[in-house]
Amino acid sequence: METNRKIKLQVKELYKSFGAKIALDHVSFDVEDGEFLSILGPSGCGKTTILRILIGLLEPTSGTILKDGADITRLPASKRGMGIVFQNYALFENMTVLGNVEYALKFNKETKPRARELALEQIENVGLTEYINKKPHTLSGGQQQRVAIARTLALHPDVILFDEPMSALDVATRLSLRDELKSIQHKLGTTMIYITHDQEEAFALSDHIIVMDNAVIHQHDKPMNIVESPADEYIRSFVIHNLALKIHSLSKYAGGTSHD
Amino acid sequence: MIKADRGYSVFKWLILVFFAVFLVIPIARLMTSITWDSLVKIIKSAAFGRALRTSLTVAVLATVISIAIAYVAAWAVTRTAIPCKGVFTLLATLPMLIPSYSHASGLVFLFGQNGVLTNALHLDLLFGKSSYIYGIPGIVMGSVLFSVPLAFIMIADVMRYQDCTPYEAAEVMGIPKPNRFLAITYPYFRKPMISIIFVVFTAIITDYGVPHIIGGKVITVAEMMFQKTVKLLDYNTGSVLGLILLFPAVISFLLDFTNKDKGNMSFVGRRFEIVKSFRKDAVAFILIVVISLYLLIPLICAAYNSVLTSYPTDMTFTLEHFRTVVFKSGFKYLRNSLIIAVVVSLFGILLVTVTAYLSARMKSKLSRVLHLVSMTAMAVPGVVLGLSYVIVFKKSVIYNTFLIMFLVNAVHMFASPYLMMYNTFSKLNENLESVGVSLGISRWHMFKDVIFPLAKSTVWDAMSYFFIQCMKTITAVAFLWSTYTKPLAIKIDEYNAMIETENVAVATLSILAVNILFKLIVYLRQQAIARSRTREGNVILPDLMSNRKQACC
């Protein structure tokens, strides 16, 4: 992780207001190629606004986004080379796994056989080949997540965004999905930006974490650094407190001795 | 709102204009056509006072009885272990498929001056006169017939989704049963019950069909309005009466609206587990059989009466009345009904789908306005809407045409199917369109290939609502038919006036048969849709692999 990677995305002075409400207050950060970045914060902190602006569902009031050095701020969503995985995955329930992955390719100037070929390639990539004919609601949560990722990957994005994909699921499922996601990222090396309000999730998955509150970034750092040297009082109280409690209780369960 | 959606506002505006022209302006014109003097004069008149008293008496009595019967029926099918629940549920909803004229006609056939039971049991001697059913007793009985199914469906729904865990907790804590009723049952039922009571009350007080047939000399406000406008062309008095009838409907609408918004039904606990108990089940079974028999009176009577040559003078069997009503002179009315039902279900489903899609899946301030306007159609009773169309469109080209029949029905029936579609669209994952945008799939393709297929089952429900309501309605259209467009349900009144009760019976059965047939088609379509939900694809992998090799080479 210490090697100097290429910068994939540069977010500069992003500002967004909805009427009188400021959703993003001049936010800037860089994302390295191939990294897993989490944006962590309570609901209403602006993290979803960042995501919707990055993918192109929303226009910023001001500020720019550079991808591989090129300005993409006003580019239509489908021309940005980015994919997105939403909460509960938003799969096309009336289509099979193959249909889900293949469908978008038809609108992106692919011939039918070529579209099918590309779709199958991606399904193989996420290990779902034997499920191509199944409908999404007959699959497990993990399999659904993989369909959503394959659907996104079919258009060859080099950045994938995740909008709290696991927030509606139970703890056990989340833990296994988290592992799956991590292994897919290792295999593909795609840059991933993950929006969550769950600290544990962010710390378990990420190379870097951005902690946000009230439309501004409080700290952008490696997980270890956030724990060891919190940038301000907010981080100290919000992140460290919870985390320390968790480590404390975990060590008790594990039978290890705690500090006291 | 997604940034790519801004262009769609124009569709929202178009629909709003449609509702402005065909709902808001007519109602506003109706209200502004009333002068203060005429309002005071009519309200102070003795005839109005009598009608209002009758209306209130009938509506209160019939509402109480309907709710009680419907509660028992709903309890029997949701909380007991009686057999044939599906059959009883079906039977209890059958009366919803026929016009209210038919309910009253059934009662007249049994209890009228020459009624089957009046003659057989000498009820005239028992009651001291042969016209005991005409007036308030008949109106109450008839109103109960058509409003029980309405109340039954709603109450059964509330009971079905009630959470049983509070009762279990009470059981564990040893709280006595009467206290459980006050502490758990009453608070749970209070809100939905208030809505249901008002819906039923409004349906009864705005119906003129039952009092028209069985009221005798007794007149209700709705019947008076019908008489004044349709028979005497006195639109001034009609408007005042319409305004009065608008009140309970608006209150009912507001209650329902505020109750729903709080989402008191949103959390789902555990459903009731039915415990078998011979005594309870036996009582429930007897009650539901009696209720079903009562509700089926109009249909049974119609079936019997339809094959008699001329009741009560010539009791021989004949199919001549079927020939007359279905094939000969009555055919054009049945045809008109079918034309109206088919066109309105097609046009209605288009309008409902587009409106619900725009308001549920393209959220904006304008969407909320659209939603609100769509719902207000529910607050306007059919008779009021019909009269307002007369006032506004009397001199226009669409007056006396099928077009005005289509329009008034579509607007009058809009709210319920709209809500069905709105709820279905709202439940689909809110990010589907965003996924589409990020993958370069247009809104239209997302709608055509994903959203609409997922809502198909509801589309059939909504269509069936339009169709059945069109076949049976006698409200708005009563003011707007012409000799070319008269539907069969309206023709019943004429058969009745000429004392052709056999033809009334056949018309009732025809409407019932068409509606049952349509319901059956909808049921089969929905079964097919349910099967396709889990149907797997049929792509065979080895084939593809070979294709792929070819492509690679």
Q: What is the mean pLDDT of residues A247-255?
A: 54
Cα B58 from Cα B211, distance rounded (Å): 10
Chain A residues inside the 8 Å CB shell of B4: 57, 76-77
Q: What is the mean pLDDT of residues A81-105?
A: 92
Structure-block tokens of residue B195: 């809505």
Q: pLDDT tens digits for chain B (553 residues)?
A: 566 677 788 999 999 999 999 999 999 999 999 999 989 999 999 999 999 999 999 999 999 999 999 999 999 999 999 999 999 999 999 999 999 999 999 999 999 888 888 888 887 777 777 778 999 999 999 999 999 999 999 999 888 888 888 888 888 888 888 888 888 888 888 888 988 999 999 999 999 999 999 998 999 999 999 999 988 889 989 999 999 999 988 888 888 777 764 444 445 567 787 888 899 999 999 999 999 999 999 999 999 999 999 988 889 999 999 999 999 989 999 999 999 999 999 999 999 999 999 999 998 889 999 999 998 888 899 999 999 999 999 999 999 999 999 999 999 999 999 999 999 999 999 899 999 999 989 899 999 999 999 999 999 999 999 999 999 999 999 999 999 999 999 999 999 999 899 999 999 999 999 999 999 999 999 999 999 888 888 887 755 555 544 444 4
* Minimal Cβ distance to B3: which of A59, A117, A120: A59
Cα A217 from Cα A41, distance rounded (Å): 9
> Using the beta-carbon criterion (under 8 Å), do B439 and A57 form an inter-chain contact?
no
The reported pTM is 0.88
Structure-block tokens of residue B138: 């008949």
* Minimal Cβ distance to A113: which of B437, B439, B547: B547
pLDDT tens profile B264-295: 444 556 778 788 889 999 999 999 999 999 99
Residue A15 in 3-state DSSP? Answer: strand
Give me the helix-helix angle, B278-295 and B297-306, nearest 10°: 50
pLDDT band at A26 (very low <50, low <70, confident <90, very high): very high
* Minimal Cβ distance to B431: which of A79, A87, A138: A87
Nearest of A250, A248, A238, A225 to residue A40 by alpha carbon:
A238
> Using the beta-carbon criterion (under 8 Å), do A138 and B547 form an inter-chain contact?
no
> Using the beta-carbon criterion (under 8 Å), do B535 and A92 form an inter-chain contact?
no
Mutate which: A91, A92, A153, A163, vs B, most B CBs within 10 A: A92
- Dihedral, CA atoms, B65, B71, B74, B79, nearest 10 degrees? -150
Q: Complex ipTM above 0.85?
A: no
Cβ atoms of A178 and A204 closer than 8 Å: yes
Paired residues of A209 in beta bridges: A38, A221
Cβ atoms of A83 and A153 closer than 8 Å: yes
* Minimal Cβ distance to A86: which of B434, B449, B548: B434
H-run or E-run covering A211 = strand A208-213
Chain A residues inside the 8 Å CB shell of B362: none
What is the pLDDT, as a whole number, of residue B260?
Answer: 61
Structure-block tokens of residue B444: 């239209």
Chain B residues inside the 8 Å CB shell of A91: 429
> Token pair 């097919």 is at which residue?
B528
H-run or E-run covering B105 = helix B100-111
pLDDT tens profile B305-335: 999 999 888 899 999 999 999 999 899 999 9
Cβ atoms of B195 and B256 closer than 8 Å: yes
> Token pair 């319901």 is at which residue?
B519
Structure-block tokens of residue A119: 């779709």
pLDDT tens profile B477-501: 999 999 999 999 999 999 999 989 9
Cis omega (within 30 of 0) for bond into B95: no
pLDDT band at A199 (very low <50, low <70, confident <90, very high): confident
Cβ atoms of A145 and A154 closer than 8 Å: no
What are the strands of the beta sheet with A191-196, ordered from one edge? Answer: A82-85, A159-163, A191-196, A36-40, A208-213, A216-221
Residue B426 distance to chain A (closest CA, Å): 13
Chain B residues inside the 8 Å CB shell of A101: none
DSSP class of residue A78 equals: G
Question: What is the secondary structure of B249-276 as a DSSP string?
Answer: HHHHHHHHHHHHHTTTT----PPPPPPP
Chain B residues inside the 8 Å CB shell of A55: 434, 438
Residue in chain A nearest B439 by alpha carbon:
A78
> Using the beta-carbon criterion (under 8 Å), do B541 and A82 form an inter-chain contact?
no
Residue A107 distance to chain B (closest CA, Å): 6
Mutate which: B2, B425, B430, B439, vs A, most A CBs within 10 A: B439
Cβ atoms of B62 and B147 closer than 8 Å: yes
For residue A143, give Cα distances in angstroms to A90, A123, B430, B487. 13, 11, 21, 55
Residue A256 has pLDDT above 60, yes or no: no
Nearest of B492, B210, B443, B200 to residue B333 by alpha carbon:
B492
Nearest of B257, B245, B105 to residue B194 by alpha carbon:
B257
What is the pLDDT, as a whole number, of residue A106?
Answer: 86
Structure-block tokens of residue B439: 């993958």
For residue B202, give Cα distances in angstroms to B98, B220, B300, B346, B420. 18, 13, 27, 28, 21
Q: What is the mean pLDDT of residues A52-57?
A: 92
> Using the beta-carbon criterion (under 8 Å), do B437 and A56 form an inter-chain contact?
yes
Chain A residues inside the 8 Å CB shell of B5: none
* Minimal Cβ distance to A90: which of B432, B441, B442: B432
* Minimal Cβ distance to B537: which of A56, A99, A108: A99
Q: Which residues contact A250 (CB under 8 A, 6 or more apart)?
A: none
Q: Which residues contact B101 (CB under 8 A, 6 or more apart)?
A: B209, B210, B212, B213, B474, B489, B492, B493, B496, B504, B508
Question: What is the secondary structure of B284-295 as a DSSP string?
Answer: HHHHHHHHHHHH
Q: Cite the DSSP H helix spans in B296-413.
A: 297-306, 320-322, 331-361, 365-376, 382-393, 402-412
Cα B357 from Cα A122, distance rounded (Å): 32
Residue in chain B nearest A154 by alpha carbon:
B439
Cα A80 from Cα A70, distance rounded (Å): 10
For residue A106, give Cα distances in angstroms to A103, B273, B440. 6, 49, 10
